[in-house]
Amino acid sequence: MSRSDSWRLIRRRSERNSLRTPGTDRARLGSADFRSCPSASREMRARFWTHSGLESEGLGTPNSTGKDHKLARITGINHIAFAVKDLPAALDNAINVLGGEMMMEFESIEDRYQGACVRFGVSIMSFISSNDPDSFISKFVERHGNGIQHIGLEIDDIEEYVTELESKGVKLDKTEMEDDDYQEALVGPKTGNGVVLQLTGWKAGPFDATYDGCERLCQKYSQNPKLNLLAGNQLRKE
């Protein structure tokens, strides 16, 4: 039986059982059938949605309430952060050997470390170091040596993505989720395959490897009392 024949059969049965009213469109039929049967599983909903052809028509995928729903997702890597023992040496290597461009320099007052962001084309590497032996950066370097401490990920809807992760049992540090413009959440190394994942959802605009992106990052470090801007935007305005 072809898809069109299957659809006509479903439609006739639905009309016969008064599940449809005049003018009801295909999208409503696709969800109404399952709302009338609470025991229908999410897998059944998804299978019906796909085979009915509704998904291919741009109507999305239904969530558990039967409404169209687009899952939040990771859209890209914003930056990779390296914890290093010798910050000046790491920056010299990044700029003078690898050919990166200095973006800005900063420090975290609360977590007792200093760092800098370096641009490589459209990508960003940040380097962080601490002189305090009790800081988490110093302990990381002592345990692992120089290496990747966290990866910054861009999320298209961070609030929804965090909710989805929590529903799957993932534990997050949501301390910075209260910030209206610069929302962040941290996922531990257990879920991040050995690396902390920094989820970012900056409503004020991305902290990307552009002059404007660096300006926004500098503004964040200037306004947050937990942070300090040591050297501002060093990129050339294009």
**Residue 12 — very low, low, confident or very high, per pLDDT cuts 50/70/90?**
low
Residue 237 covered by a domain: no
The DSSP code for 237 is P
- Whether residues 15 and 120 share a domain: the answer is no
pTM above 0.85, yes or no: no
Residue 194 covered by a domain: yes
Beta pairing partners, 150: 81, 196
Classify residue 169 by burial, with Cβ atoms within 10 Å: 0-12, 13-18, 19+. Answer: exposed
* Token output for 223: 């306004």
Beta pairing partners, 116: 105, 127
Asked if residue 73 lies in contact with residue 135, where contact means CB atoms within 8 angstroms, the answer is no
pLDDT score of 179: 80
Residue 125 covered by a domain: yes
- Whether residues 44 and 137 share a domain: the answer is no
| N residues, the chain | 238
Asked if residue 199 lies in contact with residue 185, where contact means CB atoms within 8 angstroms, the answer is yes
**What is the domain extent for residue 11?**
3-69
Would you say residue 29 has pLDDT above 50? no
Segment 52-56 long-range contacts (CB within 8 Å, at least 24 positions apart): 52/3, 52/7, 52/10, 52/26, 53/3, 53/7, 54/26, 54/27, 54/30
Residue 238 covered by a domain: no
**Residue 204 — very low, low, confident or very high, per pLDDT cuts 50/70/90?**
confident
- Whether residues 210 and 143 share a domain: the answer is yes
- Whether residues 43 and 117 share a domain: the answer is no
- Exposure string (b/e) for 101-122, b if CB count within 10 Å is 16 or more? bbbbbbbbeeebbbbbbbbeee
Residue 18 covered by a domain: yes
Where is the domain boundary, 50, 69, 88?
A: 69
Would you say residue 80 has pLDDT above 90? yes
pLDDT score of 70: 57
- Whether residues 62 and 151 share a domain: the answer is no
- State pLDDT tens for residues 81-96: 999 999 999 999 999 9
pLDDT score of 86: 98
Residue 236 covered by a domain: no
Total tally of structural domains belonging to the chain: 2
Residue 172 covered by a domain: yes
Percent share of the chain, pLDDT over 70: 70
Domain with residue 159: its CATH number is: 3.10.180.10
